[in-house]
Amino acid sequence: MALGAPRFDDPDARHGHARIHLLRYQNGIWSDLGPAMPDGFSPGSREWSGSAIADEATGDVTLYFTAAGRRGDNGLTFEQRMFSARADLGRDSRLADWRDLREVIPPAPDWYMATTGGGGIGTIKAFRDPAYFRDPADGGHYLFFAGSMAGSISAFNGVVGVATAPADRPDDWTVKPPLIAADGVNNELERPHVVHHQGRYYLFWSTQAHVFNPEGPTGPTGLYGMVADALAGPWRPINGSGLVFANPPEAPAQSYSWMVLPDLRVTSFVDNWGGGAERRFGGAFAPFVQLWLDGDAAGVLA
């Protein structure tokens, strides 16, 4: 699955029209099968990032996703809510019989700011991007998400939030305090997700140069992360700084929204490729890169 939107002269307009699309890989070719969920099913006015898991025994697919705005909104709003829903995966690779729609991570104002305050690209607050993970140590279920710290006096108050469910009750979610906070440093820790590798837990997220507090410390647009020996922490910055890899200086926005897969391949999309003042939006999948992990260190294989 991936986000898709119609083509606009202004690429930033895509955020107001995004849908989750279902993709099929067959005979070496990717095909876009269109929106994963039927029209009118999502409670939002558009769909933002999430994650999905498949039950091979039953053919059920559970989708965790962000509903942005509300269905029927007059104008563009930035309220974000996180939902889950189930569907059947058919032999034609399409999803049918969507059901069990529920708000999976309710608001938690003690820890996470509301997202109804408006704003624009790079300044809105976050309560989105639910990424599923199951802990191999005890079978517990986790949803990691992008949030904003409640009570912060800084405009740059991004956090990585988490909700948990017991191993035997995968739908019984409890919201927990943030795992990682960038209060005073960065506004958006987007699409956080965890990979378990050689006994360690690696928590990754994407962020952009323009959402750092200009008073510093600042960083490039890139993939960032922390590592721990248990999900409860303590968490240590990968490579000592938290930066796993970045776009090159000559093309500082060439790709974005990285996701590390269990085999350490990394997928993303082509954003503003190339250098110079002219904007050249790619809007397609970027080539995969291969990550290596060694304890608290990480990098890209040449």
For position 119, what pLDDT does the model report? 75
Q: Enter the pTM of the model.
A: 0.96
**pLDDT tens-digit map of 46-61:** 999 999 999 988 989 9
Q: Which residue has the higher pLDDT, 280 or 181?
A: 181
Under a CB-based contact definition with an 8 Å cutoff, are residues 247 and 180 in contact? no
**Residue 278 confidence (pLDDT):** 80
Domains in the chain, please, with CATH?
Answer: 1-105 (no CATH), 106-248 (2.115.10.20)
Confidence at 41, pLDDT banded by 50, 70, 90 = very high
Tell me how far CA of residue 277 lies from CA of 211, 251, 253, in angstroms.
20, 11, 12
The CB density around residue 253, as the number of other CB atoms within 10 Å, is: 20
* pLDDT value, residue 300: 98
pLDDT 10s digits, 93-121:
899 999 999 999 999 999 999 998 777 77
Q: How far apart are CA 61 and CA 26, in angstroms?
A: 19
Residue with tokens 């943030």: 178
> Cα angle at 221 between 218 and 224, to 5 degrees?
80
Q: What are phi and psi of 11, to 5 degrees?
A: -60, -25
Q: What are the tens digits of pLDDT across the range 126-166?
A: 999 999 999 999 999 999 999 999 999 999 999 999 999 99
